[in-house]
Amino acid sequence: MYKKKIKLASVIITYNRISEARAQMDIIKEAWQPLFGSINIYHEFNGEKKWYPKKYREDFLHRHRSMSHLVGATYMLNQGIKHVLESGKKYDYIIATSADVWFYDSDKLKRIIKTCQEKRFQLATSLWGLTVLATEFFIITPELAKKVFPLKYTQRASQYRLIEWIHLSKIAIFEAIFTLKIMRVLKNPNKIYLIPGRRTVWPKNRYHSANFYASHHDQHSRKKNLIPKIRTVLGSKIENMPSLNKFLFS
């Protein structure tokens, strides 16, 4: 264990991947939380209320109006970071995730955060195709988050030729905006920690990194990749994860 207990804020953004989001909350509360001082989940949701009528295991649920995909994702991430920063709580790190991301090896997560602490990395994430920084899962210090957010999708999308090139290359504009803002603030890429085992994301590992990470959009593929090993990774903690069990085994 750490000499100092780490306080984390988890920001989850969700539109319609409700089952995946519930399972992710199981992982956070049952696998992550015992290794850290505390974790508060801030759930930003812009789907229909009938899809998700009440809270599950999040500490804070914020509902938003539905928007187009990129605008909605940007808005909810901005709001989630804002809610964390304005909460009055002192967090050491913010972990932002899409609803369908499961980082289920908590020991690996602990090692990543320990490395960030010891080497003073302000951001941990992955590179998408050696071009942009991933946004579906990243760890950021509150100090850096204050300087980077809010991201302004509608204003920035037309300002940079890089954005146009990335759009033509079918790489997400959202990630490009995030990358440009990060690099403008940090200036030095050596302040960014690329996650071991997922430093660079290519088509072959886009949705899965063995034994610790899953973000499949297809339920069958997720089951195929995870079922053989996930019980071994999670151990007895999986018994207290009803939504994850329902998703994978029912």
Both structure tokens of 201: 């994301």
* pLDDT at position 70: 79
Name, in order, each residue with C-beta under 8 angstroms of 86's C-beta and a sequence gap of 6 or more: none
* pLDDT at position 38: 87
Q: Say which range, 160-169, 181-190, 228-237, has the weakest mean pLDDT.
A: 160-169
Distance CA(97)–CA(139), nearest Å, equals 9
Both structure tokens of 197: 């085992």
- Determine how many CB atoms are found less than 10 A away from the CB of residue 25: 23
- Per-residue pLDDT band for 170 (boundaries 50, 70, 90) equals very low
- Return the domain boundaries, the chain: 7-243
Asked whether the predicted pLDDT for residue 18 surpasses 90, the reply is yes
Asked whether the predicted pLDDT for residue 85 surpasses 70, the reply is yes
Read off the pLDDT of each residue in 91-114 and give the average, rounded to a whole number: 98
Read off the pLDDT of each residue in 239-248 and give the average, rounded to a whole number: 98
Per DSSP, helices labelled H in the chain are 18-27, 69-85, 106-119, 142-148, 153-156, 161-168, 173-186, 219-226, 230-234, 242-249
Strands 213-214, 208-209: pairing is antiparallel
Q: Say which range, 7-21, 29-43, 114-128, 166-180, has the weakest mean pLDDT.
A: 166-180
Whole-angstrom CA distances from 98 to 47, 141, 239 are 14, 18, 24
Asked whether the predicted pLDDT for residue 1 surpasses 70, the reply is no
Length of the chain: 250
Which of the four CATH numbers 3.90.550.10, 3.40.50.150, 3.40.50.80, 3.30.530.20 does domain 7-243 have? 3.90.550.10
Beta bridge partners of 124: 139, 193
